[in-house]
Structure 1
Amino acid sequence: MSMTIPDTGNTPQKDNATNPAAKPNKGGLEGIVAATTAISKVDGTAGRLVYRGYDIHDLARTCSFEEVAHLLWFGHLPNQKELSELHERFTAERSLPENVLQTIRELPSTTEPMDVLRTAVSTWGAVSISGKPTIEQAIAVTARFPLILAAFNRLRNGKEILESRSELGHAANYLYLLTGEVPKDEHVQGLNSYLVLLADHGMNASTFTARIVASTESDIVSSLVAALGALKGPLHGGAPSKVQDMLRTIGTVENAEPWLREAITHGGRLMGFGHRVYKTADPRAEELREMARVADPDDFKLSRHVEETALALLDELKPGRRLYTNVEYYSAALMKAVGLSGDLFTPTFAVSRCAGWTAHILEQVSNNRLIRPEAEYTGPLNETFVPLADRS
């Protein structure tokens, strides 16, 4: 399949010192424009997420992950021929070399799956990747993320690693490799929607990290390993399983109101509520809510009741804070429903986001300038130097 990097319209960034329109710096770089992108737009005020012009609700309800990956990489939704070609390319890349498998086997069974993914991706890249990032490389590494996770998960549970099935799509094959069984349609649909919804999200911490590394003219795997390190942090992608911990602690519908009120009153953090960007409902949470309802109706009852109770209490006890359900809340419910263990939640986020990361890496290198922001120095000036022998 012939593949070329699309014209993204990316333009070089200007140094703040020579850019009179640059906004003043503030903690966390909030409000600072660090790059231009044609890949996705997050409208936090309106609660809208757009991939290359398409509303996320339309994509999540109708498209496969492969279609959305094609959209992110090539700039347009594929026709049937293009989609078939991409599926064939994914299928051709569904293997792990022996050195990667050996690396996975040698890691302790207690290793966090995010660390396994980071380590195995780095091992694969050391012998498989060189030169400037390409779409071919993006497809190759995206195809292998779920293979790495499934291989480790089976090994730590005393099971043999499975071969991929060429007739299965990206989401279905991942579930098959984890369980050894052809997954239920509703589970495939739920996981596929999740992968679509999480595939990209503007200039988040991990995407920014990937673009910084790519801007140095490093390779695609180095950029991805850096992104994985950023995603692992609990303030970014490392918290979905904690939603399940919270729901497990609450336990029953009757316990929801007193538990939540106590937590909010005493400054406790409600997992799955609030977002750095969205000041209204997260559109991804809206879609995931319906997926979770279908995937496990029984567990959904508690999740939904806790959500409704928490939102009412937040409005009562934290008026004006505009705290809403975020993507983590129903991500946790959905992934549990399709059979994933809690420590696979964040790595599965990475399975999805790999498509967006690689799209941003390709966009960065297509019209590159080294990302080199400034820092406002707040330390002392004009200290008097004292030789070592004279220091008290």
Structure 2
Amino acid sequence: MTDGVTVHHGLEGVIAFESEIAEPDKEGSALRYRGVDIDDLVGRVPFEKIWGLLVDGAYNPGLPPAEPFPIPVHSGDIRADVQSAIALTAPAWGMKQLYDIDDVQAREDLARTAVMVLSYVAQAARGVGQPFVPQSEIDQCSTVTERFLMRWRGEVNPDHVKAIDAYWVSAAEHGMNASTFTARVIASTGADVAAALSGPDMAPTAPERAAATSAPV
């Protein structure tokens, strides 16, 4: 007997995961982070504070500045260089597996590694043979986005800062796109944070990747 049993076609009606940090509407025209509408965040709250809102439920302390480490891999392939560099932070920092650390340490590892991803992307995008931007110039920048642009371009254009920060804020959490799903799977195995962030680096390059919500942008 099948009375009372609802049969769905494909994945319709199947709950993939539950989240308290992001809430898109069904039409994809609105997005809220922990109940705050994205329109109240973009252009008003910098990306590093949005990271804090998502991870900690509060804007402060947010995402710290990246440590002044040069990217260790220079193949000319940005994706490969960044993925390798992120993975190398685990042995360099003595990072332990998620199953062996508490939430406080996991949060510290996540913040430290996440901001290094941005640093390594900027350094790799700057190109092989280009001189590194002096740390003294980077230290004069006041936000994560400004430091990203300084590492990449060697200068900070306010319009570019505004555009990149708006995009990062709008795309900060999309729970089931290719990259995020990959990170979830890796983290669920108990791997260290560096592994959970290096694996997703290649996921967006796949032809069947999921597109991020574009309406808020």
Asked if TM exceeds 0.5, the reply is yes
Counterpart mapping for 1:154-173 below 5 A = 154-156=126-128, 158-162=129-133, 163=135, 164-173=138-147
Q: Show the counterpart of 1:361.
A: none
| Kept in 1: contact 2:113–2:193 (CA 8 A) | no
Deviations 1:293-319 (A, max 9, x none): xxxxxxxxxxxxxxxxxxxxxxxxxxx
Q: CA 1:154/1:52 → structure 2, altered by over 3 Å: closer, same or farther?
A: same
Question: 1:145 corresponds to which letter in structure 2?
Answer: V
Distance 1:147 1:195 in 2: 14
Q: CA deviation at 1:37?
A: 1.2
Counterpart mapping for 1:112-191 below 5 A = 113-128=78-93, 129-132=95-98, 134-156=106-128, 158-162=129-133, 163=135, 164-181=138-155, 183-191=156-164
Distance 1:227 1:51 in 2: 22
Q: Which has the higher helix share?
A: 1
Distance 1:59 1:167 in 2: 21
Q: Show the counterpart of 2:38.
A: 56
Q: CA deviation at 1:30?
A: 5.5
| Kept in 1: contact 2:109–2:193 (CA 8 A) | yes
Question: 1:159 corresponds to which letter in structure 2?
Answer: Q
Q: Show the counterpart of 1:324.
A: none
Q: CA deviation at 1:171?
A: 0.7
Q: CA deviation at 1:44?
A: 3.1
Q: What percentage of residue pairs aligned between the two structures are identical?
A: 25
The TM-score, its normalising length taken from structure 1, stands at 0.47
Deviations 1:6-45 (A, max 9, x none): xxxxxxxxxxxxxx9897472xx45431221111122232
Counterpart mapping for 1:89-104 below 5 A = 90-91=64-65, 93-96=66-69, 100-101=71-72, 104=73
> Which has the higher Rg, Structure 1 or Structure 2?
1
- Gapped regions of structure 1 (runs ≥ 5): 1-19, 238-274, 286-392
Question: 2:47 corresponds to which letter in structure 1?
Answer: F
Question: 1:118 corresponds to which letter in structure 2?
Answer: Q
Question: 2:175 corresponds to which letter in structure 1?
Answer: G
Once superposed, what is the RMSD of the aligned Cα atoms? 2.7
Q: Show the counterpart of 2:102.
A: none
Q: Show the counterpart of 2:174.
A: 201
Q: Partner of 1:62: helix, strand, or coil?
A: coil
Q: CA deviation at 1:197?
A: 0.7
Q: CA 1:31/1:219 → structure 2, altered by over 3 Å: closer, same or farther?
A: farther
Q: CA deviation at 1:68?
A: 0.4
| Kept in 1: contact 2:125–2:152 (CA 8 A) | yes
**Count of residue correspondences:** 204
Deviations 1:137-164 (A, max 9, x none): 11101211122122223342x2211223
Q: Partner of 1:61: helix, strand, or coil?
A: coil
Question: Runs ≥4 in structure 1, deviation > 3 angstroms?
Answer: 20-25
Q: Partner of 2:41: helix, strand, or coil?
A: helix
- Gapped regions of structure 2 (runs ≥ 5): 99-104
Deviations 1:182-231 (A, max 9, x none): x1222211111111111111322221221122112222222222222222
Q: Partner of 2:23: helix, strand, or coil?
A: strand
